[in-house]
Structure 1
Amino acid sequence: MESKARSLYGQAGTSADMTCSLEEDALVDGPLISADTLHSAIRRQFQTVPTHCHAALLSLLHIVFVVLSMCVSVLCVLKCGQVEVCARVLFNVSGDSVIVFGKVCLWVLVLVFTHCVQHHHSQARRRGYLRFYRDMRGLDYVPLTVHSTGNVLLLVVLAARLSTQVQSYMVLCILGLELLVGVPCLLYYTVKVRRFNRERAAPDVSQEEYSHSYSVTSLPTETGFREGSSLEEVVEKQADLIEYLKQHNTLLSKRLLNLTAQH
C-alpha cells in the first residue's frame, strides 16, 4: 500500500510540475511587449517653459513705461511743453497721477508674471527638473521685490509733499533705479530659461542614471548626505526626488497596463 501511495504521489507531483511548466511556457510564448514599444510609450516628451517670452515682453513694457513717464514728467508736470496739449492728451488728469496709475498697472503685470512663473516652475519640478527649479527659485521673486520696493519709495516721496520740481526728479530717479535693477534681472532670467529649453535635457533622475551607467569614475548623487552639505538642503532634495519618483512610477504603471491591454 505504501509503495502504491508513493507512486501515486510521485505521479501527482510530476503532473503538477508538468502543469506548472506548461502554464509558464504558455505565459512565455504569449504576446510580449517589445522593448521599443515600451520605451517609446514611457518616454516623456520634453515640455518647454514659456515664461521667457513673458519676461521679454515685461522688460519691453517696463522700458516703454519709464520713457513715457519721463516725457509726461518733463512736458506736463514740469510744464516744459504745451500745457493745453498735455491736458487734452491726458484727459485733464495731472501728470503725477498718470505716472502713479501707470506704475500700479505695471506692478499688477509683474505680480501676474510672478504667479505665472511659479506655476510653470512647479510644473517643471513635477516633471523631474529639480535642479532647474532650485536654480530659479530665488530669481523669480526679484522683479516683484524690486517693483514693490519702488512703490514704497514712491509713496514716501508723494507723502512728503515736496515741491513739484523736486518731487518729479525724485519720482524719475526711483523709476530709473527700478529700470536699472529690474530689466537686467528679467533679461538674465530670459537667458537661463531659453538655455534650459534649448538643451531639452532629460529629468535629473534620468541624467544621473545615464551618468552612472556609462561613467566608471562617476561622482555620487546629490541625494545622499556628505561633508559640507546642508542637512535641510539634502532633506529637501530627497523629498523632491521621492515625490517625482512616485508620480513617475504611477505613470509607468498606467501606461504599462494600457500596453498590456492592447496586446
Structure 2
Amino acid sequence: MDSKGPALYAAGSSADMSRSEEESLVDGPLISADALHSAIRREFQAIPTPCHAGVLSLLHVVYVVLSVCVAVLCVLELGQQEVCMNILGNVQGDSVIVFGKVCVWVLVLLFTGCVQHHHSQARSKGYLRFYRQMQGVKHLPLTVHSAGNVLLLVVLAARLSQAVQTYMLLSILAVELLVALPCLLYYTVQVMRFNRERPAPDVSQEEHSHNYSITSLPTETGFREGSSLEEVVEKQADLIEYLKQHNILLSKRLLNLTAQH
C-alpha cells in the first residue's frame, strides 16, 4: 500500500503538470486574424503570364505584318522579284506564310500550357473564383488559331487561283488577329489587376465578409439550390487543397512565433 502511494502521487503530479502546460498553451496569446491575413498576403505569388501574353501579342502582330508584306511583294508579284528571291530563296511566299502560321500556333500552344500551369497553382492556393473567371479567356487564343488552321487547310485544299488563295489567307490571318489580340489584352489586364490587388484566397474573403457583415452569405461549401453536383464537388476539392496549404502556412507562423518567444 505504501509503495503504491508515491507512484500514484507521481502519476498525479505528472498529469497535473501536463494539464497545466496544455492550459498555458490554450491560455496563451492567440494569433490575430490581421496577422494571419498579412502573412497570407506576404505568401501571395503573382502570376507571371502577363509578360508572356505581351510577347505573344507582339509576335503575332509582327507575323501578320510580315505576312502581308510577303503576300503583296512576293506572292502577288507587286514588288521587286529580285528582293524576294534574295530573301526567301527558292521557297515560295505562300509556303513561308504557312510555315510562319505553324510557328505562331506552336507558340500559342506553349503559352496556353504555361497559363494553365500557373492558374492551376493559383487554384490550389484557394483562388477558385479567379480560376473560373479566366477559364474561357485563357483557352480562346488557342481555339481561334486552331480554327484558323482548319480554314487554312480548307483554302489550300480547294486549289483556288493564286490571287484568291492569297486574299483568303490574308483574311484568315486578319480575323485571327482581330479576335485573339483583344483576348490577350483582356487577359493581360485581368491578371495584372489580380497581381496588383494581391487578394486573399476565396475562403478567407468569405470568412472576413461573414465576420464583419451581417447580411453576408455563408461560404459555399455545401449543396445549394440551383448548383450542380459537379460544381459542389469541385468547390469542396479546392477547399480541401487550400486548407492543406493554409495549415502549412499556420504551422510556419506558429514555429516563427515560438522561436521569437
Match of 1:234 among 223, 232, 235: 232
Q: Structure 1's 39 and 236: CA in aligned 2 closer, same or farther, altered over 3 A?
A: closer
Counterparts of 1:1-263 in structure 2, within 5 Å, are 20-25=15-20, 35=31, 39=36, 43=40, 44-253=42-251, 256=254, 260=258
**Which range is displaced more, 104-113 or 130-139?**
130-139
Displacement after TM superposition at 1:240 (Å): 1.2
Q: Structure 1's 88 and 260: CA in aligned 2 closer, same or farther, altered over 3 A?
A: same
Answer whether contact 2:53 2:184 (CA < 8 A) is retained.
yes
Q: Structure 1's 117 and 163: CA in aligned 2 closer, same or farther, altered over 3 A?
A: same
Q: Structure 1's 79 and 203: CA in aligned 2 closer, same or farther, altered over 3 A?
A: same
- Separation in 1 of the partners of 2:103 and 2:157? 20
Q: Structure 1's 24 and 66: CA in aligned 2 closer, same or farther, altered over 3 A?
A: same
Answer whether contact 2:64 2:173 (CA < 8 A) is retained.
yes
Find the residue that maps to 2:232 and give its secondary structure. helix
- Separation in 2 of the partners of 1:222 and 1:40? 20
- Separation in 1 of the partners of 2:95 and 2:115? 30
**Which range is displaced more, 248-257 or 117-126?**
248-257
Find the residue that maps to 1:138 and give its secondary structure. helix
- Separation in 2 of the partners of 1:250 and 1:93? 58
Sequence identity percentage: 69
- CA RMSD for the aligned pairs? 2.9
**Which range is displaced more, 194-203 or 233-242?**
233-242
Q: Aligned pair count?
A: 254
Displacement after TM superposition at 1:187 (Å): 0.8
- Separation in 2 of the partners of 1:255 and 1:79? 70
- Separation in 1 of the partners of 2:197 and 2:257? 30
| Structure 2 residues not aligned, in runs of 5+ | none
- Separation in 2 of the partners of 1:222 and 1:24? 38
- The aligned amino acid for 1:96 is D
- Cα distance per residue 1:110-151 (max 9 Å; x no partner): 000000000000110111111111111122111111101111
Displacement after TM superposition at 1:45 (Å): 1.7
- Separation in 1 of the partners of 2:110 and 2:175? 22
Q: Structure 1's 19 and 186: CA in aligned 2 closer, same or farther, altered over 3 A?
A: closer
Answer whether contact 1:33 1:260 (CA < 8 A) is retained.
no
Q: TM-score, normalised by structure 1?
A: 0.85
- The aligned amino acid for 1:84 is E
Q: Structure 1's 230 and 22: CA in aligned 2 closer, same or farther, altered over 3 A?
A: closer
- Separation in 2 of the partners of 1:130 and 1:247? 14
- Separation in 2 of the partners of 1:21 and 1:63? 75
- Separation in 1 of the partners of 2:90 and 2:82? 9
- The aligned amino acid for 1:137 is Q
Answer whether contact 1:70 1:172 (CA < 8 A) is retained.
yes
**Which range is displaced more, 237-246 or 165-174?**
237-246
- Separation in 2 of the partners of 1:236 and 1:248? 18
**Which range is displaced more, 61-70 or 220-229?**
220-229
- Cα distance per residue 1:212-231 (max 9 Å; x no partner): 11112211222222222222
- Separation in 2 of the partners of 1:50 and 1:213? 33
- Cα distance per residue 1:184-204 (max 9 Å; x no partner): 111111111111111110111
